Chain A
Amino acid sequence: MTHWIILPVILPAILAPFIVLAARYHIGIQRTFSLAGVIAMIGIAAGLAWTASDGTIILYQLGDWAAPFGIVLVGDRLSTLMVLLTTVLALFVLLYAIGSGWDDRGRHFHALFQFQLMGIIGAFLTGDLFNLFVFFEVLLIASYGLMIHAGGNARLRAGVQYVLFNLLGSTLFLFALGALYAETGTLNMADVAQRIALADGAETVGIRLAAVLLLLVFAIKAAVVPLHFWLPSSYAEAPAPVAALFAIMTKVGAYAIIRVYTMVFPPDLDVTAGLHTSWLLPAALVSVAIGMIGLLAAKHLDRLVAFAVIGSMGMVMVAISLFTQTSMTAALYYIVHSTLAAAALFLIVDLVRTGRGDLRLTAQPMIPGAALTSALFMVAAIAMAGLPPLSGFIGKLLILSAAFPTPLVVWVWAVVLISSLIAVVGFSRAGSILFWKAKSVPPGPDTGDRMQRPSILSYCAVGGLLLLLAAHTVFAGPATAYMASISQQLFNPEPYISTVLGTPGKLSTPTEGH
């Protein structure tokens, strides 16, 4: 049994208290440890992804207790890929936070950042539904702290909404877990999957209820309409690096939906038949539409980007809810793309804010470093809107072609194509107001003090994210091939289940078996 898989959870859990206790007043030491920790985690995550890439399922039994009674961490292709994506994103976000000085504007940024990473990575790796809840809470508690980092009234107000909405989500999650436990007597995902497959028609009400409630909870996390309304304020008001890190938090919801609804409630199960196509797909299509229309209507740049996130999350959910192997491949490709693009956009919003002081979409004098910022904005906007040549275009093509054989092809094509057009209009309107019209406005007398040029490190962080996007485009062939192997593993969960339940642990005799 390899111990590597628990390290990405343990390492931030040790680093964060260390940063709080030992390096409280030394921002330099905090930065060094935080960066070193994230770089080490990237190394571990890459190692795990490499181990899992040949189809191996990495199992870690905590305290050597065998599942389903013990807690297990499980790494397959999907979860290790998501861990790798998280750590890489965290590195660039951290570089930006250091470069722009955001981490120094309130206390405990680095400690909370590490706890946040611990929660996200734990949620990706856990093989147990109750521990999924616990890791959700870990990442949420850290995100509450990060969300109101650096204070301010608007941020606190948005923070209250965010916290209360997520508390309601957690309560729903517990109701779902209670219903599921009452029906199956277990919360280990592999074990639940096995028992639900055996359930007959008479005892399915609780299972159905749990499936719907769980879908609601994950939809809250993924900000699917009509459960999206916490997102615009929270993401727009959060500090830029935090909003960029939150780009992976919506993906935690998408990941949980993929994991639970491929393994525990597969689409061919009678109990939950129709949940994806008749409920999730329309909701996802409406999310895409609302995201893009909101993007066109936004009067502030930060709100515009928040709605772009809702739209791209909707796009991911459209691909997921089609629920075929090809559509899952498209969804996974789009998840990686939209995480990187959304994070880059949030950081660019902050580059604009540094120069202008506010984010209203009105013509104002030219910001310092406008040439570079506008170039970065254009690249990120092209990626987000899904124009060629960047990966958004390839992702949308994959989704469209995955939708082609399904009966709902007209709806999917219409919504995806029209909303992309609206997104292009919205982004070009924002870009031209911000960067082109600025040339015609003379600098006012009072703007001198807020004119400051973003640091080189900030540009490097944004540029790095965009380079990753470019790489995601250039290597689209190998990437989609790998995503296809992930979705093939997802739709064939028997090895996962037999690894989790078949591995003996402490006090279990190897001959017993399952």
Chain B
Amino acid sequence: MELLVASAIGILTAGGIYLTLRLRTFPVILGISLLTYAVNVFLFASGRLTIGAAPVLSDGMERYADPLPQALVLTAIVISFGMTAVAVMIALGSYLGSDDDHIDDPRGEDAT
């Protein structure tokens, strides 16, 4: 299972970075979504991988999953949803306004 989780995180990250480097809004937003999925799985894995154990800490429990990463992932998912929505709206506004979906500075201005 370690191999599966690790390679899933790796592939998601690689895809995310590749899409982010395309420098056009739609691929970049998709790439960042992939990266956030990768980071969410990574956060899960940071509490050690366990199967069939409840995330409950109480007396008499023999096996349990670490509950904290699950809380962290929950927060991270909510935040990344909100952020992606904001990014999509701003990117859409920018695209409709300037008819151009590149996200680097336009040529000719003193962007140096």
Chain A residues near B (Cβ < 8 Å) = 130, 134, 137, 140-141, 144, 148, 151-153, 156-157, 159-161, 163-164, 167-168, 170-171, 174-175, 177-179, 181-182, 187, 232-233, 294, 297-300, 303
Contact = CB atoms under 8 A, between A and B. Distances in A.
Nearest to A166: B83
Contacts of A171: 32, 35-36, 39
A160 B83 contact: no
B105 interface: yes
B110 A298 contact: yes
A299 B110 contact: yes
A177 B40 CA distance: 11
B58 interface: no
Contacts of B69: 178, 181
Given A137-B79, A156-B97, A298-B110, A164 B39 contact: no
A128 to B, nearest CB: 11
Interface string B12-40: 00000000100001001100100110010
A299 to B, nearest CB: 4
Contact of B83 (A130, A167, A179): A167
Given A130-B75, A167-B87, A168-B20, A157 B94 contact: yes
B53 interface: no
B86 A144 contact: yes
With a 10 A CB-CB cut-off, give which of B69, B93, B110 has the most chain A CB atoms.
Answer: B110
B75 A134 contact: yes
Interface residues of B, number: 40
A221 B74 CA distance: 24
Contacts of A157: 94, 97-98, 100, 103, 106
A178 B72 CA distance: 9
Interface in B51-93: 68-69, 72, 75-76, 79-80, 82-84, 86-87, 90-91, 93
Contact of B45 (A168, A182, A232, A298): A182
B51 to A, nearest CB: 18
Given A134-B75, A141-B83, A174-B36, 6 more contacts: A130-B75, A167-B83, A171-B32, A178-B39, A181-B69, A182-B48
A160 to B, nearest CB: 5
Nearest to A163: B87
9 closest Cβ pairs, A-B complex: A156-B94, A182-B46, A178-B46, A153-B97, A299-B110, A174-B39, A153-B98, A178-B43, A181-B46
B32 A168 contact: yes
Nearest to B43: A178
Given A130-B72, A178-B42, A300-B110, A156 B93 contact: yes
30 contacts: A134-B75, A137-B79, A137-B83, A144-B90, A148-B93, A153-B94, A153-B97, A153-B98, A156-B93, A157-B97, A163-B83, A163-B87, A163-B90, A164-B103, A168-B20, A168-B32, A168-B35, A170-B79, A170-B80, A171-B32, A175-B42, A178-B43, A178-B69, A181-B43, A181-B68, A182-B48, A232-B111, A233-B105, A294-B112, A299-B110
Nearest to A180: B46
Contact of B103 (A161, A174, A182, A300): A161
A233 B75 contact: no
B10 interface: no
A85 to B, nearest CB: 27
A306 to B, nearest CB: 11
B2 to A, nearest CB: 13
A144 B82 CA distance: 12
Given A137-B83, A141-B83, A160-B90, A233 B111 contact: yes
A70 to B, nearest CB: 12
Contact of A170 (B43, B83, B90): B83
Nearest to B44: A178
Contacts of B45: 178, 182
A160 B35 contact: no
Contacts of B76: 174
A177 B43 contact: yes
Nearest to B34: A171
B79 A134 contact: yes
A297 B110 contact: yes
A164 B94 contact: no
B32 A160 contact: no
